[in-house]
């Protein structure tokens, strides 16, 4: 009877511990040993789900709101700000010793309708852009340690995308290229001089027209004293193509300009069946892609964060976006169990430490050099 009781207690315990049992350390522990932030996009509406909250706090030391610090949520009506959901993210992070990455202060897409349909003049837009950036950055001063100040401003050919902020109608700087972006960084810096300020984009990981344009912008900003501290490489891997070549070279050339690089939104979309499941061979292909990015980031001191766009396949933007064709893109499956990709990322972090026992100190030194700018 007693033995039976012990056995069932053991079974319950191992269920409670999930399938993390038997793993020597969590992602968070492995990342902390190399001085790396390991983060995920989050939805505060899910914090009341115990499994979501428990897994999040155990595995990550950084969170970024997936949607709730965007214009649509933070300024739902002109001049009326809503910080409730973002504040929940800050509170969760505070309770679990995590950092908060802010996303984002300015984007040409997914803006509220009052803004996009408002027929404002450049002068009005300039004023609204300043007020929004500064009200949000001030509200989170001292709580958000890094902001994506401007998100996705370039096309794949390296030209600036048309947007309400650049030229439709823009804030009065339409013919001056990246000047509107520079202005966003200046205003953000005025509002929170201690936050790290990032430019964030997708499909610009390797060396190509788009990443060259971003590199040229950062170089120019540095020469002109525009307060930029980092570049976010999103790393949404959506097609079955291999990762772009030259990611390490791209990170290194940005580092030479004196900015940090963070992997900000990684996920690797796989073909899924009607249950949302991917095949074993696809899961192992996915693990290799995650491993490569995590290894590259972990080994370079200027790469200061490795973040995924969600952590459980239960909640990911991809199935809705691809009409059910793709998903299974994250490190844990829909039941919060680790996938091959999870182990691959931890292994990558461990290898970085084995290869370079000083990697943590090097990363800290790089971060100090950036924040002492």
- Tokens representing 62 are 């950084």
Work out how close the CB of 37 gets to ligand G3I at its nearest, in angstroms, rounded to a whole number: 18
Please give the helix or strand (H or E) that residue 305 lies within, else none: strand 303-308
- Of the candidates 154, 152, 159, 169, the one whose C-alpha atom is nearest the C-alpha of residue 110 is 152
Looking at 46-54, 65-73, 93-101, 246-254, which segment touches ligand G3I (CB under 6 A)?
A: 65-73
Q: Which is nearer to ligand G3I, 317 or 366 (CB)?
A: 317
Q: Which is nearer to ligand G3I, 40 or 151 (CB)?
A: 151
Q: Which is nearer to ligand G3I, 202 or 221 (CB)?
A: 202
* Catalytic status, residue 51: no
Q: Which is nearer to ligand G3I, 70 or 101 (CB)?
A: 70
* Catalytic status, residue 152: yes
Distance of CA 115 to the CA centre of its chain: 25
Work out how close the CB of 316 gets to ligand G3I at its nearest, in angstroms, rounded to a whole number: 8
DSSP code of residue 162:
P
Q: Are 269 and 329 in contact (CB under 8 A)?
A: yes
Q: Which of residues 239-278 bind ligand G3I (CB under 6 A)?
A: 265
CA distance linking residue 308 with residue 236, whole number of Å: 9
Looking at 27-35, 66-74, 129-137, 340-348, which segment touches ligand G3I (CB under 6 A)?
A: 66-74
Backbone CA torsion sign across 373, 195, 28, 294: negative
Q: Are 340 and 290 in contact (CB under 8 A)?
A: no
CA distance linking residue 165 with residue 174, whole number of Å: 8
CA distance linking residue 124 with residue 127, whole number of Å: 5
Which residue lies nearest ligand G3I, judged by its C-beta?
317
Looking at 44-52, 63-71, 78-86, 274-282, which segment touches ligand G3I (CB under 6 A)?
A: 63-71
Q: Which of residues 279-338 bind ligand G3I (CB under 6 A)?
A: 317
- Tokens representing 50 are 């115990």
CA distance linking residue 174 with residue 176, whole number of Å: 6
- Of the candidates 236, 198, 219, 223, the one whose C-alpha atom is nearest the C-alpha of residue 321 is 236
Looking at 24-32, 62-70, 173-181, 324-332, which segment touches ligand G3I (CB under 6 A)?
A: 62-70
Q: Which is nearer to ligand G3I, 66 or 229 (CB)?
A: 66
By rule CB under 6 A, what count of residues binds ligand G3I? 9
Q: Which of residues 81-110 bind ligand G3I (CB under 6 A)?
A: 110
- Of the candidates 205, 207, 186, 206, the one whose C-alpha atom is nearest the C-alpha of residue 197 is 186
Q: Which is nearer to ligand G3I, 85 or 122 (CB)?
A: 85
Looking at 64-72, 79-87, 129-137, 292-300, which segment touches ligand G3I (CB under 6 A)?
A: 64-72
Q: Which of residues 145-204 bind ligand G3I (CB under 6 A)?
A: 151, 202
CA distance linking residue 179 with residue 298, whole number of Å: 33
Work out how close the CB of 104 gets to ligand G3I at its nearest, in angstroms, rounded to a whole number: 7
Among 49, 67, 131, 190, binds ligand G3I (CB under 6 A): 67
Residue 59 touches ligand G3I, criterion: CB under 6 A: no
Residue 234 touches ligand G3I, criterion: CB under 6 A: yes
Q: Which is nearer to ligand G3I, 34 or 197 (CB)?
A: 197
Among 59, 64, 66, 260, binds ligand G3I (CB under 6 A): 66
Work out how close the CB of 266 gets to ligand G3I at its nearest, in angstroms, rounded to a whole number: 11
Selected catalytic residue, list 64, 66, 260, 265 = 265
Selected catalytic residue, list 143, 152, 205, 260 = 152
Question: Where are any strands of DSSP class E within 56-116?
Answer: 62-65, 99-107
Look-up of token digits 């309400």: 164
| Count, residues in the chain | 373
Three-state secondary structure of 244-297 = CCCHHHHHHHHHHCCCEEEEEEEEECEECCCCCCCCHHHHHHHHHHHHHHHHHH
Work out how close the CB of 103 gets to ligand G3I at its nearest, in angstroms, rounded to a whole number: 6
Following CA atoms 235, 241, 244, 248 in sequence, which dihedral angle do they give, to the nearest 10 degrees?
A: 70
Question: Which residues contact ligand G3I (rule: CB under 6 A)?
Answer: 66-67, 70, 110, 151, 202, 234, 265, 317
Catalytic site residues?
152, 265
């Amino acid at each position: 009877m007693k033995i039976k009781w012990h056995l069932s207690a053991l079974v319950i315990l191992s269920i409670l511990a999930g399938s993390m049992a038997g793993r020597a350390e969590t992602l968070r522990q492995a990342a902390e040993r190399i001085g790396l932030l390991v983060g995920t996009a989050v939805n505060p509406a899910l914090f009341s789900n115990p499994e979501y909250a428990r897994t999040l706090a155990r595995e990550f030391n950084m969170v970024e709101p997936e949607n709730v610090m965007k214009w649509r949520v933070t300024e739902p009506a002109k001049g009326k700000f809503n910080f409730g959901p973002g504040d929940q993210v800050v509170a969760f992070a505070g309770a679990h010793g995590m950092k908060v990455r802010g996303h984002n202060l300015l984007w040409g897409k997914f803006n509220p309708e009052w803004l996009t349909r408002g027929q404002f003049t450049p002068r009005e837009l300039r004023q609204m852009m300043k007020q929004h950036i500064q009200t949000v950055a001030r509200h989170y001063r001292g709580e958000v340690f890094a902001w994506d100040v401007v998100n996705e401003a370039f096309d794949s050919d390296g030209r600036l995308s048309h947007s309400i902020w650049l030229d439709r109608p823009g804030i009065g700087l339409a013919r001056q290229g990246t000047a509107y972006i520079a202005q966003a960084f200046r205003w953000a810096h005025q509002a929170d001089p201690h936050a790290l300020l990032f430019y964030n984009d997708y499909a610009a990981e390797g060396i190509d027209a788009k990443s060259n344009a971003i590199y040229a912008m950062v170089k120019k900003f540095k020469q002109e004293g525009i307060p930029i501290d980092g570049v976010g490489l999103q790393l949404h891997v959506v097609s079955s193509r291999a990762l772009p070549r030259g990611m390490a070279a791209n990170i290194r050339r940005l580092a030479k300009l004196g900015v940090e690089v963070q992997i900000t939104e990684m996920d690797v979309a796989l073909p899924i069946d009607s249950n949302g499941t991917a095949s074993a061979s696809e899961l192992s292909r996915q693990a290799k892609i995650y491993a490569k990015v995590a290894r590259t980031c972990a080994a370079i001191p200027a790469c200061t964060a490795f973040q995924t766009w969600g952590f459980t396949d239960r909640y990911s933007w991809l199935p809705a976006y691809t009409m059910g064709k793709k998903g299974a893109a994250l490190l844990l499956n829909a039941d919060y169990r680790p996938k091959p990709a999870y182990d691959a990322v931890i292994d990558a972090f461990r290898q970085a430490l084995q290869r370079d026992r000083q990697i943590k100190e090097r990363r800290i030194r790089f971060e100090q050099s950036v924040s002492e700018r």
